[in-house]
Structure 1
Amino acid sequence: MRPLRYSINVTLDGCCHHEAGLPPDEESMRYWTTEMERADALLFGRVTYEMMQSAWRRPVSGTWPDWMDEWEIPFAETIDQARKYVVSSTLSAVEWNAELVRGDLERAVRHLKQEPGEGLWVGGVTLPLALADLRLIDEYVFVVQPVVAGHGPTLLAGLRERIQLDLVDRLEFRSGATALRYRPRG
């Protein structure tokens, strides 16, 4: 069974808005590229899918936009080429190497996890909360940013039951951010 990994940037006060932490730098982009490469497929909710597609889908011209630094291109290429599953009850179709997931979330994700491979990756806020409540996440990766946001959505807000985690890896970045990798206890 392939593991489901949840990865997200989070501030010291728990904010997980994508613009709340430090701006990406070369070191953090290498880290996120490696995280994406560890997955056979990405699992997105509608909001995260649309946000990621607008930022990281290769333009029709085939040329990455001018705003993108050279060190961002490996991440862009990795996420652009990845297989994607999109959980949505409102979208009627998806593109960008994606397949729409509908119906019973638990059953659908359990099916995806049973397929052979190295792992699934999930990001975002709403979908990971539902998956955590269903106890389907096998690994949590939090890149803790040395920032206090003071506002915004917080990590796994509304979780029904506490999940105890064991720290299995830690990586400190030059920026002061720290990647913490946890697995559910038991």
Structure 2
Amino acid sequence: MRPLRYSINVTLDGCCHHEAGLPPDEESMRYWTAEMGRADALLFGRVTYEMMASAWRRPASGTWPDWMDEWEVPFAEAIDRARKYVVSSTLDTVDWNAELVRGDVGQAVHRLKQEPGAGLWVGGVTLPRALADLGLIDEYEFVVQPVVAGHGPTLLDGLRERLHLELVDRREFGSGAVALRYRPLTGPASR
């Protein structure tokens, strides 16, 4: 059974909007590129899929845009070539090496977890909360940015039950950000 990892940047006050933290730097991009290497596939909801595709999909020209720094290219290449599953009831089709997931999200993700491999990686806000409620997340990875946003969506807002987590890894970045990795202490995902 391959594990499902939830990974996201978050501010000190729990905001997980992609524009609320610090802009990515070379160190954090290297970290996220390596973390993506621990997964066989990415799992996104519609909003995250569309946001990631608009930022990280290789242009038809084959040349990365001028705004992209050289140290961002390995991340862009990794996410561009990654296998993707998109949970959506509103999209009719997906591309970008993606497959549309419809129906009961719990059953669909449980089936994906049953496949052999290194793991699945989920990002975003709404889908991870639903998966956490279902006890399907095996690892939580938060890169906590040294910023207080004061507004915006917060991490796992609306979760039905409290999560009890065990810290299994910690890494500090030169920017002051800290990567924290946790595993659930109880629930279906910890079995």
Shift of 1:148: 0.3
Shift of 1:34: 0.7
Summarize the alignment of residues 105-116 of structure 1 with structure 2, pairs less than 5 Å apart. Answer: 105-116=105-116
**Amino acid in the other structure paired with 1:177:** A
Distance in 1 between residues matched to 2:171 and 2:19, nearest whole Å: 21
Shift of 1:12: 0.4
Deviations along 1:114-137, one digit per CA (max 9) or x if unpaired, are 000000000000000000000000
RMSD: 0.4
1:103 corresponds to = 103
Q: Secondary structure at the match of 1:7?
A: strand
Structure 1 stretches of 4+ with a deviation exceeding 4 A read none
Shift of 1:94: 0.1
TM-score, normalised by the number of residues in structure 1: 0.99
Q: Secondary structure at the match of 1:143?
A: strand
Unaligned runs of 5+ in 1: none
Distance in 1 between residues matched to 2:58 and 2:185, nearest whole Å: 39
Aligned length in residues? 186
Deviations along 1:20-74, one digit per CA (max 9) or x if unpaired, are 1111000000000011111000000000000000000000000000000000000
Q: Secondary structure at the match of 1:109?
A: helix
**Amino acid in the other structure paired with 2:183:** R
TM-score, normalised by the number of residues in structure 2: 0.97
Paired-residue identity, %: 85
Q: Secondary structure at the match of 1:6?
A: strand
1:184 corresponds to = 184
1:43 corresponds to = 43
Unaligned runs of 5+ in 2: 187-191
Distance in 2 between residues matched to 1:77 and 1:37, nearest whole Å: 11
**Amino acid in the other structure paired with 2:64:** W
